Amino acid sequence: MTDRFTAPFRPTTWLLCASLLWACTAQAQGLRPSGPLASPRGSTAPLTPTPARQQQGTADYIVALVNSEPITNNEVRQRLARVEQQITQDGSQMPPRDQLARQVLEQIISERAERQQAAELGITVDEAAVTQAEQAIAAQNQLSPEELRRRLAAEGMDINRLRNDLRNQILLQRVRERQVDSRVRVTDADIDDFMRERQGSSTQDNLELGLAHVLVAVPDGASAERINELQARAQGVVDRARAGEDFAALAREFSDAEERSNGGQFGLRPVNRLPTLFVDATRSLSVGGVAGPLRSPAGFHVLKLLEKRQAGLPGETVTQTRARHILLRTGPQLSQADALARLAGYRQQVASGQGNFEALAREYSEDGSASQGGDLGWASPGQFVPEFEQAMTALRPGEMSAPLVSRFGVHLIRVDERRQATLTQREQRDMVRGLVREKKLDEALQAWTEDLRGRAFVEYREAPQP
């Protein structure tokens, strides 16, 4: 990505970013990658709070025990605040607060059972792993660790809470990888069944939409006059987009959303993973169409439909990208900050004409592509890990990214070419194999989580007070 992160600071989004960074284990060449809130199972409903507890309001107390380990009301309140913030940012409909609090409690119960399982298996997370995750969040947003901590303090978020959240996320991912990921297998028969099923399906439930997005945020308590000004600003974006201006440039200039640095692109997503507001507004659009302004609790949204296709089966043609990169792996000999600084220096050398990208890749890159000058060959969508592919997709041919942190190290990316390519039968099966594996992983994780949750002894004390 070529633009510095300038969107409003949102700790919740950064925590989600951290989850993404630690979502998979490392694979060949450092680039290629290999649920819903839980419901109570076998437990009685939480007790109704007593009048005395209702009068205390925000006083902390135990709401549930998981194998004798307590969960407090404050834990639920803190998680609930972050969930509500994310729902608002996504433009989704907010469920009733007491219902959402109950769902959040069930999620915490499931996670507590998973953490206890990790302890039984001897799985731990050391301080170095947490520090690396913290540094990765800072680097992804073009901030130093010190700047990150200052921004957190300005938002009223304690750095120790962030580190505890990161530690828990890493721990949960590690136990899930050991207990679930390693057991999932995809056979040729699975691929054949999946392809037959998807080829015979044409329902809207299988629809995938690729959207780009501009959010003009409306502050809480804004006056009617201010709201009208912001709506007019969003309408101006609509008019300029429909007149043919580059939507990515408009997103970088006007959007208050996190994806502004990626030209506003969400990437291709199933309709059930998009806000209903967005789906209803764009489902019937032709590719290239613009919708909006749409009002949500977060503000005014402008959407452009970039791609539409039936989910599950790759199309006959895909957009392929040929890119090069320089990878520096971090560790005891090279800190993440030093790697970022070195790659920033290489970028400046290339941009000023004093250096050659291919030569620098051959000399310094720690990836298997170094001997080819960092050339990754022609890559189809989904071939690289999400954080790398997102940055690569945002670049036009000839552009270089800013230094980018992935789960494998720090990269400098340059896109050389793009083309439309027809997939061979083998390429289609390779892509379907990845889709089937993801589907099986989701199902296996859900089954494992429910089983673990069902075997846990859960004692509800009093209902959470949000």
Domain ranges of the chain: 12-23+35-179+445-460, 204-310, 318-422
- Asked if residue 281 has pLDDT above 80, the reply is yes
The pair of structure tokens assigned to 294 is 């749409």
How high is the pLDDT of residue 37? Answer: 35
The answer, yes or no, to whether residue 201 has pLDDT greater than 70, is: no
> Is 60 exceeded by the pLDDT of residue 2?
no
Q: Which CATH number fits domain 204-310: 3.90.1150.10, 3.10.50.40, 3.40.228.10, 3.20.20.210?
A: 3.10.50.40
Instruction: Report which residue type is found at 104.
Output: V
Listed in sequence order, the residues at least 6 apart from 69 whose beta carbon sits closer than 8 Å to its beta carbon are: 112, 116
Which of the four pLDDT bands, split at 50, 70 and 90, describes residue 8? very low
Q: What is the pLDDT of residue 347?
A: 93
Q: So what's the pLDDT on residue 269?
A: 79
The more confidently predicted of residues 173 and 31 is: 173
79 vs 45, more confident: 79
Confidence band for 262, pLDDT divided at 50, 70 and 90: confident
Helix (H, G, I), strand (E, B) or coil at 388: helix
Q: Does residue 6 register a pLDDT over 60?
A: no
Least confident window among 188-202, 247-261, 366-380:
188-202
d(CA 242, CA 262): 20
Separation CA 9–CA 103 (nearest Å)? 26
Which neighbouring-strand residues pair with 307?
A: 210
Exposure on the CB side of residue 182, measured as CA atoms within 13 A: 8
Mean of the pLDDT values across residues 303-317?
71
Task: Check residue 423 and give its pLDDT.
Answer: 77
- For the chain, report the end-to-end CA distance as a whole number of angstroms: 39
The domain 12-23+35-179+445-460 is placed in CATH, from the list 3.40.50.2000, 1.10.4030.10, 1.10.357.10, 3.30.1360.30, at 1.10.4030.10
pLDDT of residue 416: 95
Helices in 272-402 by DSSP H: which ranges? 276-282, 336-351, 357-364, 386-393
C-alpha 423/C-alpha 386 separation (Å) is 21
- Interatomic CA distance for residues 148 and 138, integer angstroms: 6
Using the predicted structure, report yes or no on whether residue 11 has a pLDDT greater than 80: no
Q: What are 154's two structure tokens?
A: 């300005």
Which H helix or E strand runs over 328?
strand 317-328
Say whether pLDDT at 75 is over 70: yes
Same fold? 12-23+35-179+445-460, 204-310 = no
Q: Distance of alpha carbon 267 from its chain centroid, rounded?
A: 11
Note the pLDDT tens digit of each residue in 101-110.
888 899 999 9
Over residues 159-175, mean pLDDT: 88
Percent of the chain with pLDDT over 90: 24
Rounded Cα–Cα distance for residues 226 and 74 (Å): 35
In this model, does residue 205 exceed pLDDT 50?
Answer: yes
Q: Which of 373, 321, 322, 366 is nearest to 350 (CA)?
A: 373
* CATH top class, domain 318-422: alpha beta
At 315, the pLDDT band (50, 70, 90 cuts) reads low
Q: What is the DSSP letter of 182?
A: G
Secondary element (H or E) of residue 3? none
* Dist. CA 63–CA 280, nearest whole Å: 39
How far is the C-alpha of 275 from the C-alpha of 127, rounded, in Å? 37
Q: Which helix (H) or strand (E) holds 233?
A: helix 224-242
Rounded to 5 degrees, φ, ψ at 296 are: -135, 175
State how far the Cα of 43 lies from the Cα of 85, in Å rounded to an integer.
29
Tell me what the pLDDT averaged over the chain comes to. Answer: 79
Phi, psi values for residue 198, rounded to 5°: -75, -35
Per-residue pLDDT band for 323 (boundaries 50, 70, 90) equals very high
Positive or negative, the CA dihedral 157, 160, 166, 171 is negative
| 400 strand-pairing partners | 414
190 by Cβ neighbours in 10 Å (0-12 / 13-18 / 19+) ranks as middle
